[in-house]
Amino acid sequence: MLNNEVKQILIKMYCKKMCCWLFSPVLFYFAFAASVLANDTQETNKPTEGKDDHWMQGLHETVSNSVYQSAHWFDSFFIANDSEEQQSPTTTAKIRFAWLPKSRDWSEVKTRFRVRVKLPHFQNKASVVLSDDTDDELNNLPLESANKSSRTEDEKFSLALNYTEDKNKNRLMNYRLGISGGDIFARAKHKRAFDIGENQGFLVEPSVYYYLDDGLGAKLLLEYDYQLSPKSQFRINYSIRGSAAFSGIRWKHGFYKLKQIDETTASVWSLQVEGERNGDRGFIIDKYTLGYRYRFNALRDWLFFEVEPFLEFPEQENYTTTPGIALRIEGFFHKG
């Protein structure tokens, strides 16, 4: 028992150190913002025209350069000898701030980040991914913006080495090895897309994963797309998931109506149903969620805003209507 506890402590310490290294751009983000605000307050006698442009551009460059420099330093470890020329890595970072007030909980505030570094010495097939985002949560559907249920467990940081091969328009094979929440994991995922005529498409995405603590698991994601018009699409997602860590099979349906309003604005109507079957309680429905997400790009081409009112009908509240709204700001930082 003691050995397991020591193992968990060492894994978490290593993960936190790597998080601090790759998450340093966020520290630059706040430090730079504070310094700019301080300078602005001292320069009250100078013209104000163009200050907003300077502030926004400087912030974006600071975060992008910080991520890039860390990636360049990391990739240098794979240089075989001093005479070999180092190539430039490609870096992408996403930082998101969200407030999700609901009728029974008005205090939920979430800050999310995701950093991805492509390693040129592996022909850009390999990348390092650091995230506390929900994009890779096994229970989430692709268009699910956030699992709006309040979390009782600790937020999980994930650090992984990602390798992709056989990638083309309709096919992809992906492998991932890393640490998530202090637990070592490995995952293999295959994605295959099929065109059905001019307006329809179908996607199959099976995956197998193994967590050191939770054991072996598998997931199957199915997706059907119907193009209603050049700027409108109807989509159905269905996923099932099983694992040695729990009994039964977890399932989730998603029905979506996507629309591109203009070049900088889009919307998504969504209805999601999730539950479990073949478990201790047989077939159950955990929750219904109805939502409308309005997303737009403003101020800068790398800055996005979202407003998402939603209605939840959870089993634990006897399917009583729980209204809420999600307000988000996302910044994308890319270099390479």
What is the mean pLDDT, run by run of 10 residues, along the chain of 336 residues?
Answer: 52 46 41 40 44 61 60 49 57 81 69 76 74 65 68 63 84 91 90 93 96 93 96 96 92 96 94 93 94 92 91 93 91 78
What pTM value is reported for the model?
0.74
Predicted pLDDT at 114: 79
Predicted pLDDT at 66: 60
Most distant CA pair in the chain: distance in Å?
71
Q: How many CA atoms lie within 13 A of 329 on its CB side?
A: 6
Measured from the Cβ of residue 49, the count of other Cβ atoms closer than 10 Å reads: 7
Predicted pLDDT at 106: 64
Predicted pLDDT at 314: 94
Name 87's Cβ contacts closer than 8 Å, sequence gap at least 6: 75, 120, 121
What CATH number should be reported for the domain whose range is 85-335? 2.40.160.40
Could you give the dihedral angle defined by the CA atoms of residues 326, 332, 58 and 98, in that order, rounded to the nearest 10 degrees? 20
Predicted pLDDT at 202: 96
Q: Residue 335, class by beta-carbon neighbours within 10 Å (0-12 exposed, 13-18 middle, 19+ buried)?
A: buried
Phi-psi region for residue 172, left (φ > 0), alpha (ψ -120 to 50) or beta?
Answer: beta
Predicted pLDDT at 320: 93
